[in-house]
Amino acid sequence: MKRFFSCVMIVLLGLVPGPLSRASSSEEIVLSGVAGGGYVPGEILVKFKSETSDVAADGVHAAMGAVKKRNLDRRGGGGLQQVRLPNGMMVEEGVARYRNDPHVEYAEPNYLRHAMVLPNDPDFGQLWGLNNTGQTVNGTTGTVDADIDAPEAWDVTTGSSSVIVAVVDSGVDWNHLDLAANIWTNPGEIAANSTDDDGNGFIDDVHGWDFVDNDNDPTSEDTPGHGTHVSGTIAAVGNNSLGVTGIMWSAQIMPVRFLDASGSGSVSDEILAINYAVANGAKIINASYGDSSFSLSEFDTISAANTAGLLFVAAAGNAGANNDVKPSYPANYALPNIISVAASTQNDQLAFFSNFGATSVDLAAPGTNIRSTVNVPSEDYGFLQGTSMATPHVTGVAGLVASHDPLLTNAQIKTAILNSVDQKSAFSGKVLTGGRLNAFGAVQYPGGADLAVVETASPSPVTVSHDLTYTLTVSNRGLLDAASVVLTDTIPAGTSFVSATPSQGVCNAGSPVTCNLGGLADGAVATVTLVVVTDTTGAKSNTATVTSGTTDSVPANNSAAVSVKVKSASSGGGGGCGSVAPDVPLPPNGQLLFLAALFSPLFVVLARRRWKTIRTRPLFGNVS
């Protein structure tokens, strides 16, 4: 009973606020990590402390095997210097070693800077989905940065004329001044000679095919030109001082028509259109259409496109419905080459009309008040909205990724897009990734393996002589498989090894703990549950590091650490209040308040005033 009273008093007195913690009086410089944008290989910038002499600075370089290239400031002493690292030393290692030297104030990579590329197209300011500055577009004011970061992506690539994107839709106005230069031309066909020159079964298909009218003129025949609008978002010619710009400034848009003037088309014509795109070298298909009927023939055709290496980007639908419950096809087919797209607004919300699905819709992309090319006699540009408008944003980004690295497969392009979204609360539980498209993140997504380790500990805090469990999660976030993955963990001093259980591979016993996890495919995850017993009190910091036989694109996330406070048995923590046995029952709530008031006059008034309202409310659960 004595132990129980102590526990009650500790809990109740904990309700009284303690003194606020005070920040250090000295300023602390927080240095950024080495992950992020590019930097000059083999070089770093080193700032020596003001009291460091040139001789001392030169000694630091010599110990590192590095060479000072030049001073970058005017003051005496070591100052800021540009340093060439020794052959074989990675920038990350060099930065870490210099930062640990007592003479060094800071060290960092010699980062690269680029001209910020913006097109001169006069309507660019209305393309909020590409660059949202909070401007008002079509009567709606947006939120700054609720966009896909297109200008940042254009610093990496603006597209490539070698990437063929098939717009399977209502046709494309290939004579539109903002599209003509980016329209696909069949290299094996001679125009207007009434001959099937390339033997593909279609006569004079110089710029695609129309499967509605069965002719070689797949120009947009609907108003305002659904396929033309889609095409402008993907690849209207950029930086041509005209109209809008596409996400890809350069590309080849392949017009393949299967939707009629009313916007409807048969699955049979769709299948012919998809097969045409596959046979004629398309890399990506934009599918801004759909309906609720499952079609096995449609499924098989898209699956065959996957085998051929094509990415299939599909609109989720405009019914405001949950696709997890009521599917929309083709977006809902469980095929690895399909990306299903919802529509986002100028304020990073889910559009009211957009379908969604926590498991069936992959991501959101801008889909309201989208300005693009149209096929109207009196207008060349206009606004449309829908998941049909969101889908070409994703298609255009897929084209940028393919332009930046032509060797990527459709699966790798999909991985880059889905793993680089901007996480937004409005899309959490609404789409699989919980985020909105980010072009910049996609084009700079690691092209190799990218092993990352995350570490958690439970319980925290923990009582001395109790078990402490570390959960180590290793994931491969890159585009290539990682071979011979090894997780190493040196358990903290003052703890003893109990067990290490991996989800794959084997772990040794003792410290350091070494777990050979084997291979880890791109997107795969492995876990290790490491249990130790706490022998002494105090803070216990544990660090886990992962390595592999494959070059890692982002080594900065190869380690993770977690710190846990180990309390004495009398102070509680971890296993419960002090050393109360797990099977000691708590008294009823009324008795609990009575005892608290009895041993602490501070709570007498509280107990009297709140007796009626609190006595039926459980205050504490079972102690364990």
CA dihedral for 460, 464, 467, 468, sign (positive or negative): positive
For 312-375, the three-class secondary structure string (H helix, E strand, C coil) is EEEECCCCCCECCCCCCECCCCCCCCEEEEEEECCCCCECCCCCEECCCCCEEEECCCEEEEEE
Helix %, strand %, coil % of the chain (to 5) = 25, 30, 50
Instruction: Report how far apart, in Å, the C-alpha atoms of 85 and of each of 53, 65, 111, 426, 504 are.
Output: 20, 7, 15, 46, 38
For 549-600, the three-class secondary structure string (H helix, E strand, C coil) is CCCECCHHHCEEEEEEEEECCCCCCCCCCCCCCCCCCCCCHHHHHHHHHHHC
How many other CB atoms are found less than 10 A from the CB of residue 141?
11
- Which are the contacts of 412, defined by CB distance < 8 A and separation ≥ 6? 479, 522
Of 123, 124, 126, 233, residue with least CA distance to 169: 233
380 flagged as catalytic: no
Terminal alpha carbon distance of the chain: 16
How many other CB atoms are found less than 10 A from the CB of residue 195?
11
Cα distance between residue 53 and residue 211, in whole Å: 78
Cα distance between residue 147 and residue 537, in whole Å: 49
Joined together, the tokens standing for residue 358 give: 């926590």
176 flagged as catalytic: no
Q: Burial, 601: exposed, middle or buried (Cβ in 10 Å; 0-12, 13-18, 19+)? A: exposed
Question: What are the phi and psi torsion angles at 560 (to 5°)?
Answer: -150, 150
DSSP string, 205-260: -TT-EETTTTBS-----SSS-HHHHHHHHHHPPSSSSSS---SSSEEEEEEEE-S-
CB crowding 102-130: b at 16 or more within 10 Å, else e: ebbbbbbbbeeeeeebbbebebbebbbbb
Q: Which of 354, 360, 388, 548 is labelled catalytic? A: 388
C-alpha R_g of the chain: 31
Q: Are 363 and 431 in contact (CB under 8 A)?
A: yes
Q: Which of 61, 207, 226, 404 is labelled catalytic? A: 226
Cα distance between residue 463 and residue 536, in whole Å: 9
169 flagged as catalytic: yes
Q: Which of 121, 147, 149, 169 is labelled catalytic? A: 169
What secondary structure letter does DSSP report for 157?
-
- Which are the contacts of 459, defined by CB distance < 8 A and separation ≥ 6? 466, 468, 573, 574, 575
Catalytic residues: 169, 226, 388
